[in-house]
């Protein structure tokens, strides 16, 4: 935390106090902020001493992103190892360009202060920032001085890290004119969020709908924000595509960022729900080891090893390796087993150039949750949480291999260029029985089927951009220009039984695993999609407190899908669909106004355009998803950046949302959903709100409306609960109890519904955690989820879809070691 020093106004007293603090904090001292600068003319004309000149001319390596001017001055002070004093009123609302390269402290300060009307003065061993000659001195007299140490900056980055989900450069949340939520590494560990899906389920404003149809993964979920599906999935900012999100491990990721609302600028043609950006763990400059072991109810266990550090004496080559394994069990005997391997190398191939090369491999297998049906009248059944209605031989497997690399160069003028490439190869095999109808109330039976489906997905993604400052009309602005390309190849071979007969709803499927040569219904499918374009984004500093963000992407999209359907070896159809969109523009615009050093207001407008690859039963491709979103909000940053809060009002419209055709028994065909509108309020708070208490919480209110009579659109209510509240807090006890910490979480969701009037009641779940620090390296913790053993429907499918129960009370004991 910041430490206050004397409120004396004299420059001699100020310098003496600063020197005393500098000796106490040594090189960790990075900024004297919000201080009373000297006011006497004699002080203003003081000649710099030799010590100050030496520090001014000393050369250091700087790598500072574009950010607020106060944060940039802090970063310069930290890198140069010298105290700098500045009155907070002088830098409030001002921004600074990115700073990269080797230069003197004087040069670094001149660059970050360019266009600000401020200049550095060197007084003995203290650097003071004052208005340039001819500037006003009125604001330099009365505020209390503060010394901010490196610990404060590190805490801010830990609890509220700068994000790249809404930009190619790292930005604070106040600089992004849309709602952003971040699931940090601390939260992942404290709540034992072992999969990306599970972590997103704890993120404010996010709804998960489990999937068990004949898609790529049968134990996966679709992700929704504000009622719209998120299909843009970025890995370190590189766009990839998801439809169903599998149970990927969080072991290799440092954090997960979510941009809420339309996000077409960098990520593609413009998805409606937003963008998920997973950030990989990076090589460290110092040796570090992390390990975890855990076990709990439902035969759940986990473990991981994470090692990083320099690989040569000079530290120019660094690496990181992660090995993780886990088995996650559920009350009904279903489970998922995953093994994950990850390695990354980072090397300095020049003074300003860095390259990375890495790979990961993940293999999963398990018995899928398939859910339960309901009566055709709309009446719900109430199975126990331990019931599983399907054969024990139900299985899925999947393997995903990834290779990635990038090269980044920092130019002397503050510009940064980066080229990224990613290749992902996924293969899956699904073999399971499931119900395909509601329960007949007269016979208590369902129509059942089973399928054997191999699936493969191959993605290539490339992205190259330049980012840096430029001068215009006497002010410093920021520009990003780039291009990206994405190619997705999919192949599946659905083999299923459609005439399997009827089974009791609580015992679906044959007793023995069927042959893999099912021939009743056979649909081999091949598809290739290409998406490429150029983009630009600029942050114009219109005035000290006002920033205009404008940009857009010019994109091209084409796809080819071929599929053949046979029934009992009789050809039903043989189709090839081709479609393309050329020169499609997705614009984005936003305004950010810094009200003061704490609060900023913003407005943004973004468009939605996303081609559909889904077809109807006649083979026609569903029209592209189109729409727009408006958002206005207020954001605040508190306690030296350790806490941030936001409130947003939003309104979005969308049409042609693909909805599964309710008359299609195969689950392969879709119809266009009706025009719909969502509007509402979203509030979030995250970070350390006072000493020892870190929270992540948010509330979303959604008001939805169908704009036409398209019956398929009624499934909209399934993914848009009117009220959603999520909270997690962890408190490290003070004093003699400082080795203990306690945590608590709440997830509360109002009721949801689908076509036919089926409703799932709302619910509220409570989690708890107690942890004890055995020593500086080892921590023991126990987590209890759904502590009151609440019975609830976690995901609603409807009459013919699968409905899922959440787990009852579960517990997990973990031991974590860090060296």
Q: Of residues 584 and 278, which shows the higher confidence score? A: 278
Q: Which long-range contacts (CB under 8 A, 24 or more apart) does 165-168 make?
A: 165/234, 165/237, 165/257, 165/258, 165/259, 165/275, 165/276, 165/277, 166/259, 166/263, 166/275, 167/266, 167/480, 167/537, 168/237, 168/266, 168/418, 168/465, 168/467, 168/480, 168/482, 168/537
| Predicted local distance difference test score (pLDDT) of residue 491 | 81
Pairing state between β 274-280 and 232-235? parallel
| Predicted local distance difference test score (pLDDT) of residue 241 | 75
| Digit-coded pLDDT (tens) for 729-751 | 999 999 889 999 999 999 999 98
| Digit-coded pLDDT (tens) for 48-78 | 444 555 666 777 878 787 778 888 888 888 8
3-class DSSP state of 105: helix
Pairing state between β 445-472 and 288-296? unpaired
What's the mean pLDDT in 107-122? Answer: 83
pLDDT at 375 over 80: yes
Among candidates 190, 185, 154, 160, which has minimal Cα distance to 175?
160
| Digit-coded pLDDT (tens) for 583-627 | 888 888 999 999 998 999 999 998 887 777 667 776 677 777 788
| Predicted local distance difference test score (pLDDT) of residue 668 | 62
Which range, of 79-93, 103-117, 337-351, averages the lowest pLDDT? 79-93
| Predicted local distance difference test score (pLDDT) of residue 583 | 86
**CA distance to 268, 294, 483, 535, 792, per residue, from 587 (Å):** 12, 47, 15, 10, 42
Whole-angstrom distance, CA of residue 64 vs CA of residue 158: 17
Whole-angstrom distance, CA of residue 468 vs CA of residue 491: 41
| Predicted local distance difference test score (pLDDT) of residue 39 | 29
Among candidates 114, 103, 108, 97, which has minimal Cα distance to 467?
97
Is 85 in contact with 14 (CB distance < 8 Å)?
yes
816 C-beta neighbours (distance < 10 Å), count = 18
For 296, the token pair is 């709990």
Whole-angstrom distance, CA of residue 598 vs CA of residue 172: 13
Q: What share of the chain is helix, strand, coil (3-state, %, to 5)?
A: 10, 55, 35
| pTM > 0.75 | yes
> Residue 308, exposed/middle/buried by CB under 10 A (0-12, 13-18, 19+)?
buried
Give the model's confidence band at 788: pLDDT under 50 very low, under 70 low, under 90 confident, else very high: very high
| Predicted local distance difference test score (pLDDT) of residue 146 | 37
| Digit-coded pLDDT (tens) for 180-221 | 999 999 999 999 999 999 999 999 999 988 876 545 566 778
| Predicted local distance difference test score (pLDDT) of residue 326 | 95
> Residue 665, exposed/middle/buried by CB under 10 A (0-12, 13-18, 19+)?
middle
- One-letter-per-residue 3-state SS of 488-534: EEEEEEEEECCCCCEEECCCCCCCCCCCCCCCCEEEEEEEEEEEEEE
pLDDT at 256 over 90: yes
What's the mean pLDDT in 147-173? Answer: 70
Is 23 in contact with 74 (CB distance < 8 Å)?
no
What's the mean pLDDT in 374-392? Answer: 87
pLDDT at 368 over 90: no
Which part of the chain is CATH 3.55.50.30?
3-159
| Predicted local distance difference test score (pLDDT) of residue 55 | 64
Which part of the chain is CATH 2.40.170.20?
277-818
What's the mean pLDDT in 28-56? Answer: 38
Is 171 in contact with 67 (CB distance < 8 Å)?
yes
What's the mean pLDDT in 644-662? Answer: 84
Give the model's confidence band at 269: pLDDT under 50 very low, under 70 low, under 90 confident, else very high: low
| Predicted local distance difference test score (pLDDT) of residue 666 | 54
Whole-angstrom distance, CA of residue 744 vs CA of residue 150: 29
Residue 634 C-alpha from the chain's centroid: 21
| Predicted local distance difference test score (pLDDT) of residue 156 | 67
Say how many Å lie between the first and final Cα of the chain, rounded: 25
Highest mean pLDDT out of 23-27, 418-422, 701-705 = 418-422
What's the mean pLDDT in 264-288? Answer: 81
Give the model's confidence band at 136: pLDDT under 50 very low, under 70 low, under 90 confident, else very high: very low
Among candidates 640, 556, 646, 566, which has minimal Cα distance to 597?
640
419 C-beta neighbours (distance < 10 Å), count = 15
Query: Could you tell me where the beta strands, DSSP code E, fall in 411-498?
Result: 416-435, 445-472, 475-496
Whole-angstrom distance, CA of residue 33 vs CA of residue 224: 42
Whole-angstrom distance, CA of residue 352 vs CA of residue 103: 12
pLDDT at 693 over 80: yes
Angle between helices 150-159 and 69-80 (to 10 degrees): 130
Whole-angstrom distance, CA of residue 52 vs CA of residue 242: 55
Highest mean pLDDT out of 27-31, 42-46, 646-650 = 646-650
Highest mean pLDDT out of 154-158, 627-631, 771-775 = 771-775
| CATH of region 3-159 | 3.55.50.30
| Predicted local distance difference test score (pLDDT) of residue 154 | 63
Give the model's confidence band at 142: pLDDT under 50 very low, under 70 low, under 90 confident, else very high: very low
What's the mean pLDDT in 692-709? Answer: 87
**CB proximity list for 194: less than 8 A, separation 6 or greater:** 249, 250, 251, 302, 326, 328
Whole-angstrom distance, CA of residue 441 vs CA of residue 10: 87
Give the model's confidence band at 667: pLDDT under 50 very low, under 70 low, under 90 confident, else very high: low
pLDDT at 143 over 60: no
Which range, of 212-226, 374-388, 632-646, 727-741, averages the lowest pLDDT? 212-226
Query: Could you tell me where the beta strands, DSSP code E, fall in 297-394?
Result: 300-310, 317-329, 335-348, 353-367
pLDDT at 514 over 80: no
pLDDT at 129 over 80: yes
Which CATH architecture group holds 277-818? Beta Barrel (2.40)
Report CA torsion sign: 283, 285, 287, 293.
negative
What is the residue-averaged pLDDT of the chain?
Answer: 81
3-class DSSP state of 156: helix
Among candidates 583, 627, 578, which has minimal Cα distance to 607?
627
């Amino acid at each position: 935390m910041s430490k206050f020093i004397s409120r004396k106004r004299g420059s001699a007293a100020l310098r003496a106090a600063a020197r005393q603090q500098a000796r106490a904090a040594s090189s960790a001292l990075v900024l004297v902020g919000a201080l009373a600068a000297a006011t006497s003319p004699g002080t203003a004309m003081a000649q710099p001493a030799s010590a100050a000149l030496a520090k001014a001319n000393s050369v250091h390596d700087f790598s500072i992103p574009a950010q607020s001017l106060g944060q940039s001055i802090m970063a310069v002070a930290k890198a140069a190892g010298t105290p700098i004093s500045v009155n907070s009123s002088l830098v409030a609302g001002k921004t600074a360009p990115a700073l990269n390269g080797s230069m003197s402290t004087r040069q670094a300060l001149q660059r970050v202060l360019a266009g600000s009307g401020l200049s550095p003065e060197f007084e003995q061993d203290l650097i003071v920032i004052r208005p340039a000659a001819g500037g006003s001195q009125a604001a330099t007299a009365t505020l209390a001085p503060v010394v901010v140490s490196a610990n404060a900056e590190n805490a801010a980055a830990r609890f509220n890290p700068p994000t790249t989900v809404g930009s190619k450069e790292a930005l604070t949340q106040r600089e992004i004119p849309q709602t952003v939520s971040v699931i940090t590494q601390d939260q992942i560990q404290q709540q034992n969020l072992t999969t990306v899906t599970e972590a997103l389920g704890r993120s404010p404003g996010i709804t998960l709908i489990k999937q068990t149809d004949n898609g790529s993964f049968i134990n996966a979920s679709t992700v929704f924000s504000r009622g719209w599906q998120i299909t843009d999935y970025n890995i370190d900012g590189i766009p990839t595509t998801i439809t169903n999100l599998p149970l990927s491990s969080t072991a290799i990721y440092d954090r997960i960022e979510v941009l809420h609302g339309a996000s077409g600028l960098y990520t593609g043609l413009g998805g409606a729900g937003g963008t998920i950006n997973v950030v990989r763990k990076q090589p460290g400059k110092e040796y570090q080891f992390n390990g975890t072991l855990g076990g709990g109810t439902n035969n759940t266990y986990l473990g991981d090893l994470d090692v990083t550090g320099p690989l040569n004496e000079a530290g120019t080559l660094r690496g990181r390796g992660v090995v993780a394994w886990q088995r996650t069990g559920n009350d009904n005997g279903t489970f998922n087993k995953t093994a994950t391997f990850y390695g990354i190398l980072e090397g300095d191939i020049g003074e300003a150039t860095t390259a990375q090369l890495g790979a990961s491999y993940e293999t999963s297998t398990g018995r899928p949750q398939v859910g339960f049906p309901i009566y055709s009248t709309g009446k719900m059944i109430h199975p126990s949480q331990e019931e599983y209605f399907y054969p024990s031989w139900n299985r899925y497997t999947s393997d995903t291999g990834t290779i990635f690399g990038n090269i980044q160069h920092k130019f002397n003028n503050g510009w940064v260029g980066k080229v990224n490439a990613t290749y992902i190869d996924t293969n899956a095999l699904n073999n399971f029985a499931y119900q395909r109808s509601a329960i007949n109330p007269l016979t208590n039976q369902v129509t059942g089927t089973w399928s054997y489906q191999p699936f493969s997905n191959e993605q290539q993604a490339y992205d190259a951009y330049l980012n840096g400052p430029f001068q215009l009309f006497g002010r410093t602005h920021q520009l990003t220009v780039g291009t990206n390309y994405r190619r997705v190849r999919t192949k599946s071979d659905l083999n299923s039984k459609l005439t399997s007969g009827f089974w009791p709803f609580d015992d679906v499927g044959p007793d023995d695993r069927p042959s893999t040569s099912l021939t009743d219904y056979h649909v081999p499918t091949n598809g290739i999609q290409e998406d490429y374009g150029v983009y630009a984004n600029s942050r114009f500093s219109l005035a000290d407190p006002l920033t205009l963000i404008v940009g857009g992407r010019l994109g091209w999209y084409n796809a080819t899908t071929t599929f053949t359907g046979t029934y009992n070896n009789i050809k039903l159809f043989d189709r090839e669909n081709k479609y393309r969109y050329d020169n499609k523009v997705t614009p984005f615009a936003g305004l950010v106004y810094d009200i003061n050093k704490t609060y900023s207001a913003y407005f943004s407008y973004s468009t939605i355009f996303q081609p559909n690859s889904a077809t109807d039963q006649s083979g026609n491709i569903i029209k592209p998803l189109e729409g727009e979103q408006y958002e206005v909000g207020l954001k605040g940053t508190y306690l030296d950046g350790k806490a941030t809060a936001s409130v947003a009002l939003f309104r979005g419209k969308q049409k042609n949302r693909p909805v599964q055709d309710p008359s299609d028994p195969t689950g392969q065909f879709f119809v266009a959903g009706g025009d719909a509108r969502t509007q509402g309020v979203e509030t979030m708070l995250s970070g350390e709100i006072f000493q020892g208490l870190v929270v992540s919480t948010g509330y979303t209110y959604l008001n939805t409306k169908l704009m036409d009579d398209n019956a398929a659109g009624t499934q909209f209510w399934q993914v848009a609960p009117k009220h959603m509240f999520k909270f997690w807090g962890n408190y490290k006890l003070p004093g003699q109890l400082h080795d203990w910490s306690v945590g608590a979480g709440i997830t509360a969701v109002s009721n949801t519904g689908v076509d036919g009037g089926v409703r799932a009641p709302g619910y509220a779940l409570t989690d708890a955690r107690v942890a004890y620090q055995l020593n500086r390296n080892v921590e023991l913790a126990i987590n209890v989820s759904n502590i009151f053993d609440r019975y609830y429907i976690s995901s609603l499918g409807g009459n013919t879809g699968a409905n899922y129960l959440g787990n009852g009370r579960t517990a997990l004991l973990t031991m974590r070691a860090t060296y």
